[in-house]
């Protein structure tokens, strides 16, 4: 196995176009796949020497996060503009994994239960894909195709993730049997922005999804806290659970997921609502 | 390509670039203090510092360690004299089979560098990536406290 | 004396362990070593039609490929029943069964070559349900049928074929999933050919001498040409009692005349060692209206998997411990182990007592509800006491402080209320459970250890050297030997040598026995040395003192002793009666949990234990055993399960087999009782397994209390605590 180590993006893109390569950044997913034999590439494209992939900057109301920025940095430095994503970053794996793991890596692997996906979906993030052919932005809603498969073309690299700056409360909840190194059975992110609630799920269906019917049900921002009555919250939970057909796997049955994700959605909605109404910190 | 890594202050070189830092350390350079218990980043037995940052050596592509500095458990003591964290592990009874100990000692050292006086809840959060099958963690958390107190006393 | 018995003395191997200098089996190396890798069955049950190693042998660097046909001696092994192929012959009976082993010049080539050994299988339907396996119409896993072993006990009226009536009757069926020992240090060994055509194996093991015996049989060598040496052990918990790399590594070393290294990566390790027996336990208890137990009827079916390992003894333990630490006049107990095509089950900390503890303690909770008694009260009313008898008829002559242990726990203050947090509805529950366990080997086994103590003067100071084949697996058997020597001889410079099989046996590091038997042997050897010193000095001073060096001069005093624990007898085959155990240990746990009732997620807020240890030989090491054992019990209750799909292990990985982390295991409060056993060295009681027995049941009880759910299975999965269909 060969390792190519470009130090700038144009070179990386050229090599990527010319050879079948597997990109690797922090290695927290790729090394696991290499070790298990699930991945046996002839060539790895190491992106860790490309400084611009680790950059972060704010363009107006969007934070552009370099695909190679480790979760530790997201957790520690982006809490203000992106409180939801920063809170998820704090929950990823262990300290050791957060020091190496990146959003680009998680998006590249697209493991259905990985925690960042629902928050990216709910926050309306888009993925910046680059290749020798140019740059395009794909909204995360259209990014996840099937387990492990995404909208990224064979010659494209994930350059950055563009996440709108939070304008309201953001909340992430997950269900898992362990308190430490939690493997999410399913998870839910809820974002309140521009008077609308966005909600997305991970570890539920075959790919992370937005629960658009639930979002539409809430519609434009309800007039006041009074409208958040139990019936409304229950219906919201039901619609969230209906966003996809849940899977059964080692960790839980589909029936449990359908039940649990509705609970998570109800809690999430109440939590963002409390924060919107000024109860508790944002 | 030749990979050169400074491990505990000494330069090690190798012609291989297709494996993890853990394989380099253990199999190529016979630095056996760093343990291999899962090779998928779940147990923390192979925890080392890479340029001062806590990582699982099993998840670091060997090539990515080129030109960088690694601290393993062998680099902590002053000869046979354990450092504060290691001594705290001895005194608190934080060792049983000891297989998790090298990684755990590095994780605790890193924690105390960033957070010199951690609460127990903080310590539990920060050490969650280091599995121990023998101790139930209580004596390890005692060692964290003991080391923090001794380091505070020494300042 | 600060380093003697009773002191929180340091362990001799810990300095090397914190420095990263301690060498485990997987750290072994040898300049010209060959690496070996195992070809394992991907099927739970299949006929082997062909094994073609041509493609593997063609790879550069491949030196040898062995199959069952190449095993020169006994092709089967087994510590109690010789039924397990070293390498599969004709048929594979479980996922992961070894079929062939490849040797190559480097580990990657060995692995690659193993993948290229083409095994032709005809897949057969697997037998996966142990209860169904015991029905007469079940397909047979072995030609002799699926009943691997069974044990029956009849006490009181049950000996006449019946059980008396009772005011209150409670029935339940309980299930225990498959827990893995999941020690962190992988199986590994280094085999070296020796001059005389023999072989030496350095290996991580719990029982050197049994390894030697089984190795010699399979290699077709006399025992004296097979030496087994201990390599550093990264945890064991029962999972290293059976052979792993042993025979293939030694056979390849003999064939190639080169050192052979083997180690198992994690996924292979999960497939290669035994697990705790999954179990289905049907219980019926009858008690009086005032809560006094009248009878217990227990039908326990353990899933032995494809091969016997230590299942016969585990069936014995499940039966003899089926009534728990309670005084029940009438008992009808049947414990059976079934052969299935699931991975083999065997020893794991608790050894057949953990599964019944979960069942009988669940029953006690239900009896409490049925009688309107407090859960602790009903246990105390029925608690075994000195002079009471077990279902085997064995009378407890020593301390049996079950009621006191429970009382101590009951008296502990309750932890603070759950925090209001994130909208979750948390239900707090407190649960209690008690357990007992036979210490050391039972049912007539002559169980002993051997130790040698040598006293001499080095640089003007007395030095004691202990030689013993007791294996250190992390529990502290080296340290306790040193403490004993310090106390017995007054010598502080004590060096412990872990012997190999050329020295006498110490028996296994298992059954909570090493401190008892090896402690007894070291004490006996020390006392013989002390007598010799006194004779030399012509005085009768009680201890070796500062004048020792003068008395000894350049003489070396060496004494070897065997220590056999008090004899036991086999149970009679009709009613299962007899004094089958030489000592019992008792412990109880209290668990406090918060259950997120909507999600069925459980947080253990606090664990507490009370245990009678006879004598706390080393309070620090003792606390470590109590804490670690409780954490393993927590794992079985909540997070740890090897999941089988048609007999195939679905989660041989730490990503999916979830060990408790720092955030999952709370602090343990420990109430230690020291009620000496007059028959035991220093009055001590074996302590290693008790912490892992009732902790699971206590957590289950706490979840039951919090949720009102029956909790009939461990591990408890979130979906067991919510009814998904009720909340569409």
Tens of pLDDT, residues C266-317:
999 999 999 999 999 999 999 999 999 999 999 999 999 999 999 999 999 9
Which helix H or strand E contains B44, and what residues bound it?
none
Residue C538 is predicted with a pLDDT of: 83
Percent of chain A surpassing pLDDT 90: 88
Residue A223 is predicted with a pLDDT of: 43
* A181/chain B closest Cα distance in angstroms: 6
Average pLDDT over chain B, rounded to an integer: 96
What is the band of C541 on the pLDDT scale with cuts at 50, 70, 90? low
Residues of B in contact with C14 (CB under 8 A): 89-90, 95, 98
Residues of C in contact with A31 (CB under 8 A): none
Q: Is residue A262 within 8 angstroms of chain C, CB to CB?
A: yes
Structure tokens at C411: 């008296």
Residue C316 is predicted with a pLDDT of: 98
Computed over its alpha carbons, how large is the radius of gyration of chain C?
Answer: 26
- Backbone φ, ψ for residue C561 (5° rounding): -135, 145
What is the band of A228 on the pLDDT scale with cuts at 50, 70, 90? confident
DSSP-based three-state secondary structure for A105: helix
Instruction: Please determine, for residue C520, whether its predicted confidence score (pLDDT) is greater than 50.
Output: yes
Say if residues A33 and A167 touch (Cβ distance below 8 Å). no
Sketch the domain layout of chain B as residue ranges.
3-72, 84-154
Identify the chains in contact with C, defined as 3+ C-beta pairs within 8 A. A, B
Nearest to A177 among C718, C724, C727 (CB): C718
Cβ–Cβ below 8 Å for A183 and C656: yes
Q: Which of A225, A223, A229, A264 is nearest to A246 (CA)?
A: A264
Instruction: Please determine, for residue A281, whether its predicted confidence score (pLDDT) is greater than 50.
Output: no
Cβ–Cβ below 8 Å for B98 and C234: yes
Cα of first residue to Cα of last residue in chain A, in angstroms, is: 48
What would the DSSP string read from start to end of C338-362? Answer: EE-SSPPB---TTTTSHHHHHHHHH
Other beta carbons less than 10 A from residue A132's beta carbon: 13
Instruction: Please determine, for residue A225, whether its predicted confidence score (pLDDT) is greater than 80.
Output: no
Cβ–Cβ below 8 Å for A181 and B128: yes
- Backbone φ, ψ for residue C504 (5° rounding): -65, 160
Structure tokens at B68: 């960088």
Instruction: Please determine, for residue C728, whether its predicted confidence score (pLDDT) is greater than 70.
Output: no
Four-way CATH pick for B3-72: 3.10.20.30, 3.30.420.40, 3.40.50.2300, 3.40.50.300: 3.10.20.30
User: What's the CATH superfamily of B84-154?
Assistant: [2Fe-2S]-binding domain (1.10.150.120)
Say if residues C248 and C36 touch (Cβ distance below 8 Å). yes
Q: Which of C107, C114, C599, C716 to mutate to test the interface with A (most CBs of A within 10 A)?
A: C599
Residue C681 is predicted with a pLDDT of: 98
Residue A255 is predicted with a pLDDT of: 95
Which position has the token pair 């470590």? C624
Separation of alpha carbons A118 and C607, rounded Å: 35
Residue A282 is predicted with a pLDDT of: 42
Say if residues C405 and C326 touch (Cβ distance below 8 Å). no
Cβ–Cβ below 8 Å for B54 and A26: no
Region C674-685 average pLDDT = 97
C-alpha A224: how far from its chain's center?
Answer: 30
Structure tokens at B144: 């964290």
Cβ–Cβ below 8 Å for C664 and A178: yes
Q: How many helices (H) and strands (E) does chain A have?
A: 10, 14
Residues of A in contact with C722 (CB under 8 A): 256, 259-260
Structure tokens at A273: 């609502």
Other beta carbons less than 10 A from residue B126's beta carbon: 23
- Residue C209: C-alpha distances to residues A106, C503, C600 (Å): 50, 9, 47
Separation of alpha carbons C666 and C664, rounded Å: 6
β-strand partners of A57: A64
Cβ–Cβ below 8 Å for B41 and A28: yes
Residue C242 is predicted with a pLDDT of: 97
Separation of alpha carbons C34 and B149, rounded Å: 48
Q: Is residue B38 within 8 angstroms of chain C, CB to CB?
A: yes
- Residue C118: C-alpha distances to residues C40, C62, C566, C649 (Å): 11, 15, 53, 21
Residues of A in contact with C423 (CB under 8 A): 266-267, 270-271
Structure tokens at C551: 């008395």
Tens of pLDDT, residues C372-430:
999 999 999 999 999 999 999 999 999 999 999 999 999 999 998 887 766 788 999 99
Say if residues C441 and C513 touch (Cβ distance below 8 Å). yes
Polymer length in residues for chain C? 728
Structure tokens at C421: 């947090």
Tens of pLDDT, residues C91-146:
999 999 999 999 999 999 999 999 999 999 999 999 999 999 999 999 999 999 99
Q: Which of C421, C596, C724 to mutate to test the interface with A (most CBs of A within 10 A)?
A: C724
Cβ–Cβ below 8 Å for A96 and B44: yes
Separation of alpha carbons C548 and C462, rounded Å: 7
Q: Which of C2, C8, C9, C17 to mutate to test the interface with B (most CBs of B within 10 A)?
A: C17
Average pLDDT over chain C, rounded to an integer: 96
Say if residues A164 and A146 touch (Cβ distance below 8 Å). no
What is the band of A26 on the pLDDT scale with cuts at 50, 70, 90? very high
What is the band of C726 on the pLDDT scale with cuts at 50, 70, 90? very low
Nearest to B136 among C8, C654, C665 (CB): C665
What is the band of A269 on the pLDDT scale with cuts at 50, 70, 90? very high
Say if residues C200 and C254 touch (Cβ distance below 8 Å). no
* C665/chain B closest Cα distance in angstroms: 6
What is the band of B45 on the pLDDT scale with cuts at 50, 70, 90? very high
Instruction: Please determine, for residue C545, whether its predicted confidence score (pLDDT) is greater than 90.
Output: no
- Residue C215: C-alpha distances to residues C209, C283, C452 (Å): 10, 41, 26
Tens of pLDDT, residues A134-150:
999 999 999 999 988 99
Residue A195 is predicted with a pLDDT of: 86
What is the band of C604 on the pLDDT scale with cuts at 50, 70, 90? very high
Residue C582 is predicted with a pLDDT of: 96
Which position has the token pair 């697209």? A110
Residue A66 is predicted with a pLDDT of: 98
- The dihedral built from the CA positions of residue C696, C702, C707 and C711, taken in this order, carries a sign that is positive
Residues of A in contact with C699 (CB under 8 A): none
What is the band of B80 on the pLDDT scale with cuts at 50, 70, 90? confident
Residue A279 is predicted with a pLDDT of: 57
DSSP letter assigned to residue C682: G
Please name the residues in contact with B155: beta carbons below 8 A apart, sequence gap of 6 or more.
none
Separation of alpha carbons C480 and C518, rounded Å: 9
Which helix H or strand E contains A89, and what residues bound it?
helix A83-91
Structure tokens at C704: 């039951």
Vertex C648 angle, CA C646 and C653, to 5°: 140
Separation of alpha carbons B25 and B60, rounded Å: 11
Separation of alpha carbons C405 and C588, rounded Å: 6
Percent of chain B surpassing pLDDT 90: 92
Tens of pLDDT, residues C686-708:
999 999 999 999 999 999 999 99
Burial of A278 (0-12, 13-18, 19+ CB in 10 A): exposed
Tens of pLDDT, residues B21-42:
999 999 999 999 999 999 999 9
DSSP-based three-state secondary structure for C51: strand
Cβ–Cβ below 8 Å for C662 and B123: yes
Interface size between B and C, measured as CB pairs under 8 A:
160
Tens of pLDDT, residues C444-482:
999 999 999 999 999 999 999 999 999 999 999 999 999
Cβ–Cβ below 8 Å for B42 and C662: no
Pairing of strands C461-468, C493-498: parallel
Q: Is residue B74 within 8 angstroms of chain C, CB to CB?
A: yes
Task: Please give the residue of chain B at the shortest CA–CA distance from A41.
Answer: B18
Q: C354-371 and C694-707 helices cross at what angle (nearest 10)? A: 40
Nearest to B63 among A46, A93, A97 (CB): A46
Which conformational region is residue C446 in: left (phi greater than 0), alpha (psi within -120 to 50 degrees), or beta?
Answer: beta
Task: Please give the residue of chain C at the shortest CA–CA distance from A252.
Answer: C719
* C727/chain A closest Cα distance in angstroms: 6
Instruction: Please determine, for residue A10, whether its predicted confidence score (pLDDT) is greater than 70.
Output: yes
Instruction: Please determine, for residue B98, whether its predicted confidence score (pLDDT) is greater than 80.
Output: yes
Structure tokens at C135: 């029905």
DSSP letter assigned to residue C419: P
- Interface of chain C against chain A, CB under 8 Å? 267, 422-424, 598-603, 638-639, 643, 650-651, 655-656, 658, 660-664, 717-719, 722-725, 727-728
Pairing of strands B10-14, B3-7: antiparallel
Tens of pLDDT, residues A33-58:
999 888 999 999 999 999 999 999 99
Residue C434 is predicted with a pLDDT of: 98
Residues of B in contact with A2 (CB under 8 A): 17-18
């Amino acid at each position: 196995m060969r390792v190519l180590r470009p130090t700038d993006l144009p070179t990386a893109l050229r090599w990527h176009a010319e050879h079948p390569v597997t990109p690797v950044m922090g290695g927290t997913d790729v090394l696991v796949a290499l070790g298990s034999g699930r991945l046996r590439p002839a060539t790895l494209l190491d992106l860790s020497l490309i400084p611009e992939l680790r950059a972060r900057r704010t363009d107006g109301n969007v934070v552009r996060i370099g695909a190679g920025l480790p979760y530790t940095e997201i957790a520690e430095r982006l809490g203000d503009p992106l409180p939801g994503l920063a809170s998820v970053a704090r929950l990823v794996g262990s300290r050791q994994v957060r020091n190496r793991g990146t959003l680009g890596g998680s998006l590249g692997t697209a493991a259905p239960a990985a925690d960042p996906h629902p928050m990216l979906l709910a926050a309306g993030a888009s993925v910046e894909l680059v290749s020798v052919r140019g740059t395009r932005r794909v909204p995360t809603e259209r990014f996840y195709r099937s387990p492990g498969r995404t909208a990224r073309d064979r010659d494209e690299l994930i350059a950055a993730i563009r996440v709108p700056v939070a304008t309201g409360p953001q909340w992430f909840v997950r269900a898992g049997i362990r308190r430490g190194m939690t493997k999410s059975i399913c998870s839910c992110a809820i974002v309140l922005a521009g008077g609308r609630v966005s909600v997305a799920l991970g570890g539920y269906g075959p790919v992370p999804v937005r629960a658009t019917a639930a979002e539409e049900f809430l519609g434009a921002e309800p007039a006041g806290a009074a409208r958040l009555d139990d019936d409304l919250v229950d219906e919201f939970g039901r619609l969230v659970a209906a966003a996809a057909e849940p899977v059964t796997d080692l960790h839980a049955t589909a029936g449990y997921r359908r039940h649990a994700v509705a609970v998570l959605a109800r809690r999430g909605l109440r939590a963002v609502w409390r924060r919107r109404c000024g109860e508790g910190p944002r | 390509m030749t990979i050169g890594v400074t491990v505990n202050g000494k330069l090690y070189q190798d012609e291989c670039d297709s494996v993890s830092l853990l394989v380099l350390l253990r199999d190529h350079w016979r630095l056996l203090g760093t343990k291999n218990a899962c090779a998928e980043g779940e147990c923390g037995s192979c925890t080392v510092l890479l340029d001062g940052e806590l990582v699982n050596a099993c998840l670091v592509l060997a090539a990515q360690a080129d030109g960088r500095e690694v601290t393993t458990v062998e680099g902590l003591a002053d000869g046979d004299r354990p450092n504060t964290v290691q001594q705290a592990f001895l005194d608190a009874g934080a060792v049983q089979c000891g297989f998790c100990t090298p990684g755990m000692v590095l994780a605790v050292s890193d924690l105390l560098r960033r957070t010199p006086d951690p609460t127990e809840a903080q310590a539990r959060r920060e050490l969650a990536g280091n599995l121990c099958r023998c101790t139930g963690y209580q004596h390890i958390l005692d060692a964290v406290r003991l080391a923090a107190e001794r380091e505070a006393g020494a300042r | 004396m600060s380093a003697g018995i009773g002191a929180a003395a340091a362990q001799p191997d810990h300095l090397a362990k914190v420095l990263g200098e301690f060498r485990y089996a997987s750290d072994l190396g040898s300049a010209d070593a060959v690496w070996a890798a195992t070809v394992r069955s991907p099927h739970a049950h299949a006929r082997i039609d062909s094994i073609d190693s041509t493609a593997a042998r063609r790879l550069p660097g491949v030196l040898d490929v062995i199959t069952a046909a190449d095993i020169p001696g006994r092709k089967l092994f087994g510590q109690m029943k010789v039924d397990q192929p070293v390498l599969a012959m004709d048929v594979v009976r479980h996922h992961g069964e070894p079929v062939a082993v490849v040797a190559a010049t480097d580990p990657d080539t060995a692995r690659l070559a193993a993948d290229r050994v083409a095994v032709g299988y005809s897949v057969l339907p697997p037998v996966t349900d142990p209860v169904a396996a015991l029905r007469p119409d079940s397909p047979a896993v072995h030609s002799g049928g699926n009943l691997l072993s069974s044990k029956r006990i009849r006490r009181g009226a049950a000996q006449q074929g019946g059980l008396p009536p009772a005011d209150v009757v409670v029935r339940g069926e309980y299930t225990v999933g498959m827990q893995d020992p999941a020690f962190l240090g992988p199986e590994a060994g280094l085999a070296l050919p020796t001059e005389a055509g023999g072989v030496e194996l350095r290996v991580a093991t719990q029982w050197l001498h049994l390894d030697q015996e089984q190795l010699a049989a399979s290699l077709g060598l006399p025992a004296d040409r097979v030496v087994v040496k201990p390599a550093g052990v990264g945890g064991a918990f029962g999972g290293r009692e059976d052979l792993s790399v042993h025979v293939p590594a030694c056979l390849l070393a003999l064939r190639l005349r080169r050192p052979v290294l083997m180690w198992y990566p994690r996924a292979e390790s999960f497939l290669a060692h035994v697990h705790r027996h999954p179990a289905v336990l049907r219980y019926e208890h009858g008690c009086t209206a005032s809560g006094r137990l009248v009878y217990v009827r227990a039908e326990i079916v353990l899933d032995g998997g494809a091969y016997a390992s230590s299942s016969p003894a585990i069936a014995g333990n499940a039966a003899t411990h089926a009534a728990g630490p309670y005084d029940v006049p009438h008992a009808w107990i049947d414990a059976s182990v079934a052969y299935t095509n699931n991975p083999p089950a065997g020893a794991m900390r608790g050894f057949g007592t953990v599964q019944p503890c979960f069942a009988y303690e669940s029953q006690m909770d239900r009896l409490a509800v049925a009688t309107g008694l407090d859960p602790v009260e009903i246990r105390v009313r029925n608690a075994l006491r000195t002079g009471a008898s077990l279902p085997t008829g064995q009378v407890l002559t020593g301390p049996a402080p079950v009621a006191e242990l429970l009382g101590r726990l009951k008296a502990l203050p309750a932890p603070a209320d759950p925090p209001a947090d994130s909208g979750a509805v948390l239900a707090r529950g407190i649960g209690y459970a008690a357990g007992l366990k036979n210490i050391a080997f039972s049912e007539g086994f002559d169980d002993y250890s051997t130790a040698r103590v040598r006293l001499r003067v080095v640089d003007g100071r007395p030095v004691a050297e202990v030689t013993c084949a007791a294996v250190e697996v992390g529990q502290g058997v080296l340290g306790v030997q040193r403490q004993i020597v310090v106390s017995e001889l007054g010598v502080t410079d004590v060096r412990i040598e872990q012997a190999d099989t050329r020295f006498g046996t110490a028996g296994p590091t298992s059954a909570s026995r090493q401190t008892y038997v090896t402690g007894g042997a070291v004490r006996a050897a020390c006392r013989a040395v002390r007598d010799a010193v006194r004779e030399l000095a012509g005085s009768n001073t009680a201890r070796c003192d500062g004048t020792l060096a003068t008395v000894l001069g350049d003489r070396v005093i060496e004494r070897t002793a065997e220590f056999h624990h008090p004899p036991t007898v086999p149970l009679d085959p009709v009613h299962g009666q007899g004094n089958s155990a030489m000592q019992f240990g008792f412990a109880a746990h209290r668990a406090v949990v918060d259950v997120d009732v909507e999600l069925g997620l459980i947080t253990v807020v606090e664990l507490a234990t009370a245990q009678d240890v006879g004598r706390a030989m080393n309070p620090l090491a003792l606390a470590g055993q109590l804490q670690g054992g409780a954490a393993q019990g927590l794992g079985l209750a909540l997070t740890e399960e090897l999941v089988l799909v048609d007999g195939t292990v679905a989660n041989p990985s730490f990503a999916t087999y979830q060990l408790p982390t720092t955030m999952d295991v709370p602090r343990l409060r420990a109430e230690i009782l020291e009620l000496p056993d007059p028959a035991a060295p220093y009055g001590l009681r074996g302590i290693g397994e008790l912490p892992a027995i009732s902790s699971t049941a206590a957590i289950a009880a706490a979840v039951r209390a919090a949720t009102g759910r029956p909790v009939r299975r461990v591990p408890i999965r979130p979906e067991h605590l919510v009814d998904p269909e009720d909340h569409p």
